[in-house]
Structure 1
Amino acid sequence: MTIARAQLVSLNTTAYYHCVSRCVRRAFLCGQDPLTGQSYEHRRHWVEQRILALAKVYCIGICAYAVMNNHYHLVVHINQEKAEQLSDQAVIERWAKEHLLPPQILRYLQGQASTADISICRKIIHLWRERLYSLSWFMKELNFSIARQANKEDQCGGHFWEGRFKSQALLDEKALLAAMAYTDLNPVRAGISPTPETSQYTSIKRRFDSLAHCQSKPQGLLPFAGDTNLDKSDTIPFRLLDYLEWVDWVGRQMREGKTGYIDRHQPAILIRLSLGQKESLELCSRLKQKRCLWIGTSEQLHSVKIKLNKQRIHGLSI
């Protein structure tokens, strides 16, 4: 039975989520049609640019993404506190980047709003503020835009995406690390790219490119803690160089099948998280193999089950 999105996305439990959307036409999202030979690779650029554009509007940070031939992965951080601290003016400015403003809001901005208009505007602004940290709204606007562009290009109508997006709650830093590495390594594991730095339309490629231009914070992506002076609540809780080294190690091991090998150049991040390499490698592999909506320790999964008043949940224990 389908689980309500409100139960899957609980900001009181975690702010980090791994999302996946798959095209109903399978290989015709961004890849090449084997029957006609027509290429749809340009659609991967659509998806990437739309993700980065929406990140400027919503209070939802992009930790990692990978746009594949028939699906895409997103790892996000939902910053409810940031949205609630925005001024009314800031909320309007963010919403106006992607939406037309109603007449009442326009009069409000011009200082010509009546008492009735002001009351309506406050309700509208409150609604927009809530949407700015809504994962469902973010994914809805992302998928709707791509579906409309693709249908227009194909000169057809109907569903473009395979139902609603799938989401997994990442309950701690170990789960976040595994989901990000799993996402960034998708092209390597699929045999599309030999290395992460050559994987087009991925967050890790974007981070590599920024480093090449001496920029520590790629536009549209959430920065890493330790590499910025920003509020720690709006950063990824790892060091960038540690993460890049870790992804490179996991990628080499998974490609060569050496799951039991422990590299002597073990990344420092493993020490901080008390996470073994073999354990991490197995977790990255199991993310796709097992159906799971929550990822964390057995204690964390039990706590979620109690909060949701469930006898059983689809969880992946780490």
Structure 2
Amino acid sequence: MTKPRKQLIDVTTTPYYHIVSRCVRRSFLCGVDSQGNNFEHRRQWIEDKILALPQIFAIHVCAFAVMSNHYHLVLEIDAAQSDAWTTEEVIQRWHMLFKGNLFSQRHIKGESLTQAERDVLKTCVDVWRNRLADISWFMRQINEAIAREANHEDQCTGRFWEGRFKSQALLDEKALAACMAYVDLNPIRAKMAKTPEQSDYTSAKQRTTKAKRAHSPNHHQQQPKSLRPFVGNPRQDMPAGLPFRLTDYLELLDWTGKQIRANKRGAIDAELPPILERLNIDQKHWIYSATQFESRFKGLVGGVYKLKQVCHKLGYQRVPGLSNCRLLS
């Protein structure tokens, strides 16, 4: 039985999620269609939205790729960040998206409120705080805005997106690494680019461009501000961010991309990239996972032990996708 979205996206299970949103009838979001119509400029629309919203939401972008008729995101929900916001911070962030209400407008202006009005405002702020850490609301801000702009440009009305977005919960580091690589390598698999640094409208392009100019590319403060930084292998007192070294991840992307382009998955180099060695993932299993992630894995992705643990918590009668998740164990 299909599980409701609120059970599939649960920050107590994992903060990391792979999101895919497709155009209705697989029509073109970006690129050039079969009739020669060029929609390439729409890539910039959606990239700008993706990179701007983390400045408002308590949601970080770990990876993204904008393709011709769909886009991918790997997102991290930061519940600790939203919990730490003051009432004023929540209101200011919400007002960047919506008008709020009379009480929030008066509060920001410094006008006094009665106790009853403050109670109403507190209830609203609690709702807004939750929404600012909610992937569904994050996706709503992207898709509604893009749909309006695209329909206006096409001089038409109606649905632009193919139903609701698809989500996969990434339960551990192995799933996170495989999914991020899958997203960043989308243009290479689609033969739209030869290398990650040439893959326009992807997080890989953003990270490699910044790394080339950085004195210490692995330092989190010298990485793109709009993306969740890599902060190194797990250790005590580590800053918030992705649990890998940036240079190791970029080396992994380059190595995996070469395997995809060469189409020689049975003859892989003996020397593994450092991330694969640390995560103890078989090289052939890695290539399979990084190229077939969306089609082969179900809504929950991770090692077998973690997968069974989460399924028990969510009340599943059986463990979905168990055989494929063995590749990540």
Give TM-score, length-normalised by structure 2: 0.90
Partners of 1:76 and 1:183 in 2: CA distance: 12
Partners of 1:252 and 1:6 in 2: CA distance: 38
Matched, 1:201 2:201: yes
Query: What amino acid maps onto 2:93 in structure 1?
Result: R
Query: What amino acid maps onto 2:94 in structure 1?
Result: W
Counterpart of 1:235 in structure 2 is: 241
Matches within 5 A, 1:1-318: 2-35=2-35, 37-115=36-114, 116-214=116-214, 216-226=222-232, 232=238, 234-290=240-296, 292-315=298-321, 316-317=324-325, 318=328
Confirm or deny: 8 A CA contact 2:300 2:307 kept in the other structure. Answer: yes
- Secondary structure in 2 aligned to 1:28? coil
Confirm or deny: 8 A CA contact 1:108 1:117 kept in the other structure. Answer: no
Q: How far off is 1:204 after superposition?
A: 0.6
- Secondary structure in 2 aligned to 1:64? strand
Query: What amino acid maps onto 1:157 in structure 2?
Result: T
Shift of the 52–274 alpha-carbon distance from structure 1 to 2, 3 Å rule, reads same
Question: Which structure 2 segments of 5+ residues have no match?
Answer: none
Greater mean alpha carbon deviation, residues 55-64 or residues 101-110: 101-110
- Secondary structure in 2 aligned to 1:234? coil
How many residues of Structure 1 are paired with residues of Structure 2 in the alignment?
Answer: 314
Identity of aligned residues (%): 47
Partners of 1:117 and 1:41 in 2: CA distance: 48
Partners of 1:163 and 1:313 in 2: CA distance: 26
Partners of 1:291 and 1:61 in 2: CA distance: 23
Confirm or deny: 8 A CA contact 1:63 1:180 kept in the other structure. Answer: yes
Partners of 1:76 and 1:174 in 2: CA distance: 15
Confirm or deny: 8 A CA contact 2:231 2:239 kept in the other structure. Answer: no
Query: What amino acid maps onto 1:256 in structure 2?
Result: A
Partners of 1:240 and 1:167 in 2: CA distance: 25
Partners of 1:283 and 1:290 in 2: CA distance: 8
Confirm or deny: 8 A CA contact 1:79 1:234 kept in the other structure. Answer: no
- Secondary structure in 1 aligned to 2:179? helix
Could you give the per-residue CA deviations for residues 47-70 of structure 1, whole angstroms, max 9, x where no partner exists? 100011111111111000000000
Indicate the RMSD between aligned Cα atoms, in angstroms: 1.8
Could you give the per-residue CA deviations for residues 133-179 of structure 1, whole angstroms, max 9, x where no partner exists? 11111111111111111111111111100000000000100000000
Query: What amino acid maps onto 1:110 in structure 2?
Result: K
Partners of 1:27 and 1:245 in 2: CA distance: 34
Partners of 1:130 and 1:177 in 2: CA distance: 27
Shift of the 152–52 alpha-carbon distance from structure 1 to 2, 3 Å rule, reads same
Q: How far off is 1:233 after superposition?
A: 6.3
Partners of 1:33 and 1:270 in 2: CA distance: 38
Q: How far off is 1:2 after superposition?
A: 4.3
Question: Which structure 1 segments of 5+ residues have no match?
Answer: none
- Secondary structure in 1 aligned to 2:24? coil
Give TM-score, length-normalised by structure 1: 0.93
Could you give the per-residue CA deviations for residues 197-234 of structure 1, whole angstroms, max 9, x where no partner exists? 0110000101111123327221310000139xxx8463
